């Protein structure tokens, strides 16, 4: 049995395609943390079980969803993600064989109307399908990852990702996520040196734009590398300032 699990808040404009991309799921579970739009109604219309919750953080919320799922297998997607046809075929195939405990997907993200196939944004491989009894979400908010006891097989079908509706949303996310990241690090006892906010950003830019070929995505690739460097600066500056 496969459970599709999604955490969401005010995602009425894009959660529909997310749920529709897994038509073979035996269960759809959506944890809604206070939506004020039509998110819950759209999910129920798609056959989802909607659970209204508080917001304990990304890692804790995804572990809560994992615990609530009924399936032996869990596929976790964000509301701004969906399976490509190739990824759908991959999931159907591996659920028949169940040769591994978990499976990772490349994630293809779109930015300002174009998919980015280079830099740090691709293949951006994510473990999203796993046997529920051997998986747990870990990491520092907001950057969670699914840890698995057992073998992880790499699939080739893309998860399609549309993270930002407009540029201002990207900038707002940088501000919010850098604050969350710095707070998470501080609670874990991590500290920053005075050089971290200034040395790490250009290293990030060079890695994304040059070493990983972000320049091949044109101005979009260079812009994303620059915004990534700004995010690195903000989170380390906030951690250093305390």
> Is residue 231 located within the same domain as residue 113?
no
> Is residue 219 located within the same domain as residue 155?
no
pTM assigned to the model: 0.94
> Is residue 8 located within the same domain as residue 89?
yes
CB 133 within 8 A of CB 152: no
How many structural domains are present in the chain? 2
Distance CA 165, CA 199 (A): 30
- Which residues neighbour 133 within 8 Å (Cβ) at sequence distance 6 or greater? 72
Given 161, 176, 203, the domain boundary residue is 161
Query: In this model, does residue 242 exceed pLDDT 90?
Result: no
Give the pair of three-digit tokens for residue 130.
Answer: 């796993």
pLDDT at 104: 98
Quote the Cα angle for 185-118-79, to 5°. 60
Contacts 24+ apart (CB under 8 A), 165-173: 165/13, 167/112, 170/111, 170/227, 171/227
Domain range for residue 231?
A: 167-241
> Is residue 45 located within the same domain as residue 144?
yes
> Is residue 29 located within the same domain as residue 104?
yes
Please tell me what DSSP assigns to residue 214: G
Tell me, what CATH number does 16's domain have? 3.90.550.10
Find the mean pLDDT for residues 8-19: 97
Q: What is the pLDDT of residues 202-233, one digit of tens each?
A: 999 999 999 999 999 999 999 999 999 999 99
CB 159 within 8 A of CB 105: yes
Find the mean pLDDT for residues 55-84: 97
> Is residue 132 located within the same domain as residue 188?
no
> Is residue 142 located within the same domain as residue 188?
no
């Amino acid at each position: 049995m496969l459970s599709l699990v999604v955490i969401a808040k005010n995602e009425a404009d894009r959660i529909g395609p997310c749920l529709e991309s897994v038509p073979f799921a035996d269960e759809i579970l959506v944890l809604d943390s206070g939506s004020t739009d039509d998110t819950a109604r759209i999910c129920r219309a798609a056959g989802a079980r909607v659970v209204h919750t508080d917001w304990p953080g990304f890692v804790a919320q995804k572990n809560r969803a994992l615990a609530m799922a009924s399936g032996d297998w869990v596929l976790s997607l964000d509301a701004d993600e969906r399976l490509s046809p190739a990824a759908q075929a991959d999931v159907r195939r591996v659920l028949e064989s169940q040769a591994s405990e978990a499976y990772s997907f490349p994630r293809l993200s779109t930015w300002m109307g174009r998919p980015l196939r280079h830099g740090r944004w691709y293949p951006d491989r994510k473990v999203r399908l796993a046997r529920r009894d051997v998986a747990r979400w870990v990491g520092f908010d907001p950057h969670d990852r699914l840890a698995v006891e057992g073998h992880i097989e790499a699939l080739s079908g893309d998860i399609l990702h549309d993270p930002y509706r407009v540029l201002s949303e990207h900038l707002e996310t940088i501000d919010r996520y850098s604050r969350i990241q710095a707070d998470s690090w501080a609670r874990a006892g991590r500290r920053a040196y005075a050089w971290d906010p200034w040395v790490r950003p250009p290293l990030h830019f060079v890695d994304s734009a040059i070493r990983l070929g972000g320049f091949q995505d044109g101005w979009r690739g260079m812009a994303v590398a620059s915004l990534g460097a700004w995010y690195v600066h903000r989170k380390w500056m906030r951690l250093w300032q305390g």
